């Protein structure tokens, strides 16, 4: 059964998530480097200048412990481990220096995608699958995560570490990303912006279990299982 609301409340304003979640594509320098010269060729024609964002809509939202359905047309799901920036107050036109003051804190997010090689079109069919955005168990105040920009994230599948990455490889830091995004769209209390998924995100199949952890124990972990998609009609939320 797919869960449609992140059940996270926490001990600081705004006390709970709004359900609005934006992801950031290709913030990792290594992910951009992997595209190489193709970034200058059609259809892209140039590397992106502004942050490239996507929406994880409400049907994607789920919580640690969930059984994540792997789409039957995909076979595999890519497990994108990301630091979630949880807004504590409205962020509109904020400077880089003031950006982090707009956060309530951080949470871990597992952003599942159907693997895709082309980033030309918005790829909603690959990014907006039911239950494909799994939230960690808690939101941790900014003061307790002193180095979000060097945080290491680790993905395990069936008990084996299959991917490690550090936010140190992000092109835009937490503060820089907030400043650039809040210049053209307002983020409100309870909204979440994902800093970005590192290059080489691992893939897994139905029947496997996953765990996402960081080197900040306060953030806890996300765990869950991957299961085959249920092709039922009109299931209730």
CB 155 within 8 A of CB 81: yes
Residues 9-38 close enough to bind another protein by CB under 8 A: 20, 22, 25-26
- Sheet containing strand 152-157, edge to edge, reads 67-70, 222-228, 209-214, 152-157, 160-166
Question: What 3-state DSSP class applies to 32?
Answer: helix
Among 36, 37, 49, 117, binds another protein (CB under 8 A): 49
CB 177 within 8 A of CB 82: no
Q: CB under 8 A: which stretch of 113-121, 146-154, 156-164, 215-223 binds another protein?
A: 113-121
Say whether residue 234 binds another protein (CB under 8 A): yes
Among 36, 37, 45, 143, binds another protein (CB under 8 A): 45
Among 29, 58, 89, 176, binds another protein (CB under 8 A): 58
Q: How far apart are CA 192 and CA 103, in angstroms?
A: 9
Q: How far apart are CA 66 and CA 58, in angstroms?
A: 15
# residues near another protein by CB under 8 A: 49
Residues in touch with another protein (CB under 8 A) = 2, 4, 20, 22, 25-26, 42-46, 48-55, 57-60, 71, 92-93, 119-125, 128-130, 184-188, 191, 231-237
């Amino acid at each position: 059964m797919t869960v449609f609301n992140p059940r996270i409340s926490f001990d600081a304003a705004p006390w709970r998530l709004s359900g609005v979640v934006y992801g950031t594509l290709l913030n990792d320098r290594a992910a951009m480097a992997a595209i190489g010269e193709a970034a200058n060729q059609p259809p892209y024609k140039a590397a992106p200048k502004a942050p490239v964002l996507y929406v994880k809509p409400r049907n994607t939202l789920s919580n640690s412990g969930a059984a994540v359905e792997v789409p039957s047309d995909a076979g595999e799901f890519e497990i994108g481990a990301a630091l979630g920036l949880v807004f504590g107050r409205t962020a509109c036109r904020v400077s880089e220096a003031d950006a982090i003051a707009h956060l309530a804190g951080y949470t871990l997010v597992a952003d599942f995608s159907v693997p895709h090689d082309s980033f030309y079109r918005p790829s909603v069919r690959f990014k907006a699958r039911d239950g494909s955005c799994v939230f960690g168990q808690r939101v941790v105040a900014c003061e307790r995560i002193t180095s979000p920009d060097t945080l290491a994230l680790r993905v395990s599948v069936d008990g084996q570490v299959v991917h490690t990455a550090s936010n140190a490889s992000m092109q835009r830091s937490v503060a820089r990303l907030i400043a650039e995004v809040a210049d053209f769209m307002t983020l409100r209390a309870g909204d979440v912006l994902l800093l970005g998924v590192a290059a080489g995100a691992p893939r897994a199949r139905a029947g496997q279990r996953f765990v996402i952890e960081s080197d900040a124990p306060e953030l806890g972990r996300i765990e869950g299982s991957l299961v085959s998609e249920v092709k039922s009609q009109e299931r209730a939320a």
